[in-house]
Amino acid sequence: MNVTLSVDLREADDRFLSRGDVQRLVNLWQDFEETLHGHSLSAGQRVILESLAADGASLGRVAVTVEHPARVSVTPETQFQIVSVIERPRVNPAYQCGSCRLDHRITYGPFTCRYCPRDDARVCDDHVRLLPGSLEGTCPEHTPRCECGAIATAYCVGPHCRSGRAWCDAHARRRGESSYCARCYDTKFPSCVEPGCRAVGSLACQHLDAAGRPCGRTVCPRHATTWQVFGPERPGLARCTAHAAVMSQTPAEMVYQILGNASPKDRGSIPRIAGFRYILAKPGRINPTEAEALRIVLDAARTAPALRSGIQNLVDTNRSRWEKEVSEGAASVAAAVTRLSAWMQVNGAASAVPGLVGVKWLPARAGKPDTLLIRVDRRYFNLVTRQRAEAGLGFSIQPLKEDGR
């Protein structure tokens, strides 16, 4: 009678079938087979055998299962045949866990120890040491330690460490699910410089000194002033309380601050001449036309020696579009002023013509009509006269005060 067997070697040591040599398995079964004489075996019956090395060290367990026949009495004439052997998956040596290899086990290592030599860098799921703040693991031998010598609990994800240094609970500062060392935390979440304020200074003052260096004092949004020079859709220039009085600056200083903080690669950070004209008129000291605003902007490099090269590059890059904007605007203003002057001459307002200066033409937008901004002697161009002119010319007329508003 032949008895077929299946063998499960998944709990045996890798040395049991070293390099595919099955002799150790054959010897193990032959030693055990003699003890079966006179006993019965049934299909599905499972026998666990303990394998020992020559020095008596355990080589793990071997499970043998009877597959066929349903029942048999074992005699010396009984023939046993091994029809299947189940082994652990074989792992390419380059991907074997180095820690398991020391215990004479072969295990796949999906992780890489950042500190191990290349041949031993692989680490399995059981041996890997993973800490919050980094996807890179280490082997047990290279478990990360804090600079104080204690076992680290997290990597610092701050701007200086960049997940390259690990820290213990005593020296790591947590914010949300992230950890930081003291230096990185202070850099990423600086305190507001205002006395008594404990909020994070999330904004750095962008005021430039005469040497082109930004102030850099950190302030919280509550204590910061934002100089809105790039339009409503973009953040303005942050200012600390010491530099909040932007309206006290001269026109040249204003242009210096704007162009000094502008990015050559971001056209949206560079205002149009219409924007410069509005900004320069805001303090109320001057009321420039767009052509006058353009001259101030073009002189910026000459009046800012510290950043002359950078500002001059910005001016050269944007000069053509600025001049085109002023030219097209000047033509529109000139046409509208000509029509207004002619109307004044024949409608009793001729005395206002000598002092009439066109400032800007605003095309119709968002429900507002075409508008001409002018400077004019209001003694000869009162509200009633203006309303009559608007009705006759078909566009709105807005005389500016001496402060430009």
Question: For the chain, which residues make up each domain, given as ranges?
Answer: 2-86, 93-188, 210-326, 329-399
399 beta partners: 374
CA distance 282 to 276: 10
Which residues, at least 6 apart from 308, have a Cβ–Cβ distance to it below 8 Å? 301, 302
Measure the CA–CA gap between 390 and 388, rounded to whole angstroms. Answer: 5
pTM: 0.57
- Which SS3 state, helix, strand or coil, does residue 8 take? strand
Q: How confident is the model at residue 392 (pLDDT cuts 50, 70, 90)?
A: very high
pLDDT at 18: 67
DSSP readout, 381-393?
A: S-HHHHHHHHHHH
Q: What confidence tens digit (pLDDT) does each residue in 91-110 have? A: 888 899 988 888 888 889 99
Q: Tell me, what's the pLDDT at 88?
A: 76
Alpha-carbon gap, residue 339 to 88, rounded angstroms:
95
For residue 155, give every residue at least 6 positions away whose Cβ sits within 8 Å of its Cβ, in sequence order, or none.
131, 132, 133, 134, 144, 161, 163, 164, 165, 166, 167, 179
Q: Is the pLDDT of residue 266 over 80?
A: no
* Of the candidates 227, 271, 221, the residue with the CA atom closest to the CA atom of residue 245: 227
pLDDT digits (tens, 9 = 90+) for 284-341: 778 788 899 999 999 888 877 888 888 888 888 899 999 998 998 889 999 999 999 9
Helix (H, G, I), strand (E, B) or coil at 256: helix
R_g of the chain, CA atoms, integer Å: 43
How far is the C-alpha of 175 from the C-alpha of 50, rounded, in Å? 54
- pLDDT > 90: percent of the chain: 46
pLDDT digit string (tens) for 198-224?
999 999 999 999 888 999 999 999 999
Q: What percent of the chain has pLDDT over 70?
A: 96
- Nearest Cα neighbor of 18 from 60, 76, 65, 75 is 60
**132 — pLDDT class (breaks 50, 70, 90):** very high
Residue in the structure block whose two tokens are 């000598």? 354
> Minimal CA–CA distance to 237: which of 211, 273, 262?
262
SS3 108: strand
Are 108 and 96 in contact by the 8 Å Cβ rule? The answer is: yes
Average pLDDT over residues 343-356: 92
Q: How many residues are recorded in the chain?
A: 405
Q: Please give the Cα distance from 309 to 63 (Å, whole number).
A: 82
Label each residue of 292-314 as H, E or C.
HHHHHHHCHHHHCHHHHHHHHHH
pLDDT at 302: 82
Q: Highest-confidence range of 89-103, 273-287, 372-386, by mean pLDDT?
A: 372-386
Q: How far apart are CA 385 and CA 245, in angstroms?
A: 39
pLDDT the model gives residue 203: 94
Per CATH, which fold does 2-86 belong to? Vcp-like ATPase; Chain A, domain 2 (3.10.330)
Judge whether 374 and 357 are in contact, CB under 8 Å. Answer: yes
pLDDT at 405 over 70: no
